[in-house]
A and B are shown apart, each in its own frame.
Chain A
Amino acid sequence: MSFVRRAAVNFSLHLCWALLIALPVHSADLVLESQVGFHGLFQLGYPFPLRVELTNLGAPMEGTLDVQVRKGGGSKGTEFYTVHYQRELSLPAQSRRSVQFTVDPDSVSRPLIVNFSSPGTKVSKEIDLRRHFSPSPLILLLTENSVSPPVPLTSGTPGPLLSISLNDLPSDSRAYHGVSNIIFYEQSLRDLSRSQVSALESWLSSGGRMLVLGSIYYALYQEPWMSRFLPVRVAGLKKLSSLPNLEKIYGKRAAPVKNLLVQDSRLVEGSILIEERGIPILVERSMGMGKILYLSLDVGRPPLSRWEGLSLLFRDLLGPPAERRSTLQTSWDEAIFSQLLSNPSMISTYVPVRTFFLWLVIYLAGLGLLAWLWQRRFLPGRILAFSFLLLVFFSSFGGYLHFHRGGNIPDGVLLSSTLLEGLQDGYVEAQSNVAFFSTRRRLYSLQTKRGWDDVEPIPYRAGTPLEDNVLVIQEEGSSTQFRFPLREWSYRLFRVRSMDRFPFRAEIQTEGGKFFLKLTNLAPRDLTDCWLVFSGQRFSLGDILQGSSQVRELPLPSERSLSREGQPKKTDFREIPFEDKTKEILFRYSLFPQDQGMARWDGGAVLFFGWVKGDPRRVWVDDAQIQAYNYALFRVIIPLEEGEE
């Protein structure tokens, strides 16, 4: 063999060896399994839980677990974009780890891709969602009893019923969006985690329905977590010979129930719907947009388990499926943000006008000085020419370095405007419109408090490069992080929804034929620039400080406020002035869009609104280079009764 051939063979062998070493170990040591939804089922069109289980049979490893969802596309009328749900994981040797995500794909026709990647290891799995969806919302049943209570699902009740364990309850409220009812029967909530409780509360306040079915094991209903949800305080058991009030409603065609044990309780919060001899049988407690129903009867045991009236009772208890996603009350698009961007008070935050002017003055003054020196013939021509070159060089490079490093402007501007729509019981639906404007090309990381209901990125304009259409969502302790790249001088818009507490009370009182509106601010923030709109007239109320209240007489509609047909005139919100121009733009075009929903506050209702001073941030960026502006408006619409109108 010649020397050249030997060298070639040697080289090829070394190359192959090097390639073999460089190749990732497609590890059989790591097993990736997944479970979609609740026992493999989720409601179509809503977020659902995805549990990924990693079993490491080999050496310890650290890596990233990533669930990739492709969203948007032609059916949504937008560009495609990719959402990555990620979690950094450390897997000890011979260990098993379970991670739960809440994913929200736009379509079931595109598979989910789950990846675990660490140096030298990459495991990937595709999940076909088509086999897992249900067109109707789910009903979850939690019971420790091996014999489930008979839950008769009639055509009027939302379907399918799934029996799950306490561990299967997600800790993220969004995972419950496809669930209409959760039923607890003989279930101890001792092992429920704080995050699970807070997710359940958040789900309830945004329209969820919880049904607690009583049992003879009443001690389970006296546990602290259970008491937190129950509208009653359970004291023990009582024997009732009959249930006439219940039978009057649900048991007309059924045989009467006799001699049964019911839970004895005392009402704490809510209203009693059915009562038998002073014992609450069916109690309802509303919680924001949702409700909790408590039935003191044990439907899992005879004689009630065989009662014919049960199906009618459950039809009412489970109720029709509620619309989980309310329509958005605000407008948020590029046209509105462009207006904000070109607003002088905003321009000054991201345009280096002052420093630019300073550099311009220095340069022109330098040229002027040289021209003067030339005119006076103080300096020879060569020195003047050299000075001119020096001036150009210094100005160009000095200015370049100054402006390239930022020029006293931030890397980005975050603007968040939140509408707190007042609901019942001191709850508000917070709709935050977020805009992130970047002055340089970099990766940004936006954070929201955990418990957000929905984050919707406003799709990019057509023609945006695919690599920029990416959103990475990462849960981190008490916050969720959204990472995305932005080019220089570009922006990204988001809409974030969540439920929150804001105990501001607005009630109408009648006294001596006059109507009064009583406003009580029990929230921990002051309300400034408050206005009342009623019957085509508007009144400035000034500031309502925390802990204070105001009573205002509702004036009768004057002739000026009525149209020719005698109907109240439409209120033009454009006439309401605000000192801050940004507030004015947000108010007119985003929070009170004139083109939609005018009917909601144009008659038959009293509208109150005010700006929240120092509203706690719902969306933020932990970066000193980002300038943040936060605006929040509280709004409540009080519908009038027929007589009041």
Chain B
Amino acid sequence: MIRNPVLREGIEIYLIEGHGFSVYFYILLLLAPFEFLTLFLPSLDPQTWVGPANLFKLTSVVTLVLAVYFSLRIANQEFVPWRFLPLKRWLQQGDVAVSDIALAQGALLCLHGLVFLLVSSPLLVWAGAIARVSAVSIVFTLSCILFYSVTYGVWALVAAALWERRIENRQVFIRSFFLAVVFLSALLYLPLNPVAFLLAQLEGKEMAPLLLWGWRWSAPLVHFLFQFFLLGSALFLYRWALRRGVSL
């Protein structure tokens, strides 16, 4: 796996040359002041404000949004895009298969997700301890953040494979996709929304089940079915887009 040239290229650019560090720096730059100010500045509804009580919930939501957003952007190769060899070149050189590219880009995405998580985990863990959240909830939240950033990040890989030369198209697509995930899913059925779902889990609230075709579907089941459907369809599209690149 480590010999995979696409993966080596990604690690070289992001971690050895340090072009990925700016992304991690952005996350910290946004997250740290947010968390610090949330701790003592009356916000949201001042009538019911108790800063430390909501610290973990708010920090988790912000981390989730930041992790998903930057996963999409980094997988979309928005940072130093000129440094990456085009997919067509890799495929035409013939020494890299479609599956190798998919594996390498997937692994890179997971690596970024993991680094996002590592960078923000002290802040999240402190917030959890201050808000008296159980260790299980903290681990659950960290896992959710990693899962969502990878699930949605795959869609950026799809965009990158589909419109490799049209960077503006990709940028518009992933931003629209991000907004759709955040807002439209909430309008359609609230438990589909990752932010709403995470908040409900942290507050211990039961979300309304979905009544469909006479069946009662529990909210967590519908949520994860939807997320796996998103991941599955993204992977399917990604594979199709890469194959299309070979045939072109």
List residues of A whose CB falls within 8 A of some B CB. Answer: 334-335, 338, 341-342, 344, 347-348, 350-353, 356-357, 359-360, 363-364, 367, 371, 374-375, 381, 388-389, 392, 395-397, 399-404, 407, 439-441, 488-490
A/B interface sample: 11 pairs, CB < 8 A: A334-B47, A344-B40, A351-B52, A353-B40, A363-B122, A396-B122, A400-B128, A401-B129, A402-B129, A488-B131, A488-B132
**When A364-B32, A381-B16, A400-B128 are in contact, do A341 and B49 touch as well, CB less than 8 Å?**
yes
Which one, B16, B21, B40, B48, contacts A338 given CB within 8 A?
B48
* Closest-CB distance, A578 to chain B (whole angstroms): 21
**When A357-B36, A367-B28 are in contact, do A395 and B122 touch as well, CB less than 8 Å?**
yes
B246 on the interface (CB 8 Å rule)? no
* Closest-CB distance, A91 to chain B (whole angstroms): 41
Do A341 and B32 have beta carbons less than 8 Å apart?
A: no
Complex interface: chain B residues within 8 A of A400 (CB):
125-126, 128-129
Which one, A342, A350, A371, A381, contacts B52 given CB within 8 A?
A350
List residues of B whose CB falls within 8 A of some A CB. Answer: 15-16, 18, 21, 28, 32, 36, 39-40, 42, 46-53, 118-119, 121-123, 125-126, 128-132
Do A353 and B39 have beta carbons less than 8 Å apart?
A: yes
Do A407 and B129 have beta carbons less than 8 Å apart?
A: yes
Do B125 and A338 have beta carbons less than 8 Å apart?
A: no
Do A374 and B18 have beta carbons less than 8 Å apart?
A: yes
- How far is B125's CA from A342's CA once the two chains are assembled, in angstroms? 24
Complex interface: chain B residues within 8 A of A363 (CB):
122-123
Do A389 and B118 have beta carbons less than 8 Å apart?
A: yes
Chain A at the B interface: SS class: helix
By beta carbon, the residue of chain B nearest A404 is B129
**When A388-B118, A441-B132 are in contact, do A364 and B53 touch as well, CB less than 8 Å?**
no
Most interface-central of B40, B121, B131 (chain A CB within 10 A): B40
Do A338 and B47 have beta carbons less than 8 Å apart?
A: yes
Chain B at the A interface: SS class: helix
- How far is B18's CA from A367's CA once the two chains are assembled, in angstroms? 14
Complex interface: chain A residues within 8 A of B52 (CB):
350-352, 439, 489
Complex interface: chain B residues within 8 A of A403 (CB):
126, 129-130
Complex interface: chain B residues within 8 A of A335 (CB):
47
- How far is B15's CA from A396's CA once the two chains are assembled, in angstroms? 23
Complex interface: chain B residues within 8 A of A347 (CB):
40, 51
Do B132 and A440 have beta carbons less than 8 Å apart?
A: yes
- How far is B18's CA from A489's CA once the two chains are assembled, in angstroms? 42
- How far is B134's CA from A404's CA once the two chains are assembled, in angstroms? 10
Do A371 and B53 have beta carbons less than 8 Å apart?
A: no
- How far is B48's CA from A89's CA once the two chains are assembled, in angstroms? 42
* Closest-CB distance, A412 to chain B (whole angstroms): 13
- How far is B49's CA from A403's CA once the two chains are assembled, in angstroms? 20
By beta carbon, the residue of chain A nearest B133 is A488
- How far is B204's CA from A482's CA once the two chains are assembled, in angstroms? 29
**When A350-B52, A439-B52 are in contact, do A359 and B131 touch as well, CB less than 8 Å?**
no
Do A356 and B129 have beta carbons less than 8 Å apart?
A: no
- How far is B91's CA from A582's CA once the two chains are assembled, in angstroms? 70
Do A396 and B121 have beta carbons less than 8 Å apart?
A: yes
Which one, A371, A402, A441, A490, contacts B21 given CB within 8 A?
A371
Complex interface: chain B residues within 8 A of A489 (CB):
50, 52-53, 131-132
**When A353-B40, A441-B132 are in contact, do A341 and B50 touch as well, CB less than 8 Å?**
yes
The 3 closest A-B pairs by CB, nearest first: A489-B53, A403-B129, A395-B122
- How far is B15's CA from A360's CA once the two chains are assembled, in angstroms? 24
By beta carbon, the residue of chain B nearest A403 is B129
A351-B52, A360-B36, A489-B132 known; 12 new pairs, CB 8 Å cut-off, are A334-B48, A341-B49, A344-B40, A356-B39, A357-B36, A364-B28, A403-B126, A407-B130, A439-B52, A489-B52, A489-B53, A490-B53
Do B126 and A399 have beta carbons less than 8 Å apart?
A: yes
Complex interface: chain A residues within 8 A of B130 (CB):
352, 356, 403, 407
- How far is B122's CA from A401's CA once the two chains are assembled, in angstroms? 12
Complex interface: chain B residues within 8 A of A396 (CB):
121-122, 125-126
Complex interface: chain A residues within 8 A of B53 (CB):
488-490
Do B36 and A356 have beta carbons less than 8 Å apart?
A: yes
* Closest-CB distance, B60 to chain A (whole angstroms): 15
- How far is B118's CA from A389's CA once the two chains are assembled, in angstroms? 8
Most interface-central of A342, A389, A441 (chain B CB within 10 A): A342
- How far is B22's CA from A375's CA once the two chains are assembled, in angstroms? 13
By beta carbon, the residue of chain B nearest A394 is B122
* Closest-CB distance, B206 to chain A (whole angstroms): 12
Complex interface: chain B residues within 8 A of A401 (CB):
129
* Closest-CB distance, B35 to chain A (whole angstroms): 8
* Closest-CB distance, A465 to chain B (whole angstroms): 10
By beta carbon, the residue of chain B nearest A488 is B132
Do B129 and A338 have beta carbons less than 8 Å apart?
A: no
- How far is B24's CA from A367's CA once the two chains are assembled, in angstroms? 11
Complex interface: chain A residues within 8 A of B126 (CB):
356, 359, 396, 399-400, 403
- How far is B46's CA from A371's CA once the two chains are assembled, in angstroms? 39
- How far is B32's CA from A307's CA once the two chains are assembled, in angstroms? 89
- How far is B43's CA from A347's CA once the two chains are assembled, in angstroms? 13
- How far is B130's CA from A59's CA once the two chains are assembled, in angstroms? 51
By beta carbon, the residue of chain B nearest A437 is B50
Most interface-central of B52, B53, B130, B132 (chain A CB within 10 A): B130
Complex interface: chain A residues within 8 A of B46 (CB):
338, 342
Do B40 and A399 have beta carbons less than 8 Å apart?
A: no
By beta carbon, the residue of chain A nearest B16 is A381
Do B122 and A399 have beta carbons less than 8 Å apart?
A: yes
Complex interface: chain A residues within 8 A of B47 (CB):
334-335, 338
* Closest-CB distance, B13 to chain A (whole angstroms): 14
- How far is B130's CA from A24's CA once the two chains are assembled, in angstroms? 44
Do A338 and B131 have beta carbons less than 8 Å apart?
A: no
* Closest-CB distance, A273 to chain B (whole angstroms): 55
* Closest-CB distance, B126 to chain A (whole angstroms): 4
Complex interface: chain A residues within 8 A of B119 (CB):
367, 392
Complex interface: chain B residues within 8 A of A490 (CB):
53
- How far is B132's CA from A521's CA once the two chains are assembled, in angstroms? 48
Complex interface: chain B residues within 8 A of A399 (CB):
122, 125-126, 129
* Closest-CB distance, B174 to chain A (whole angstroms): 27
- How far is B173's CA from A336's CA once the two chains are assembled, in angstroms? 48
- How far is B48's CA from A374's CA once the two chains are assembled, in angstroms? 46
By beta carbon, the residue of chain A nearest B126 is A399
* Closest-CB distance, A526 to chain B (whole angstroms): 34
- How far is B51's CA from A353's CA once the two chains are assembled, in angstroms? 11
- How far is B51's CA from A388's CA once the two chains are assembled, in angstroms? 30
Do B122 and A351 have beta carbons less than 8 Å apart?
A: no
Complex interface: chain A residues within 8 A of B125 (CB):
396-397, 399-400
* Closest-CB distance, A388 to chain B (whole angstroms): 7
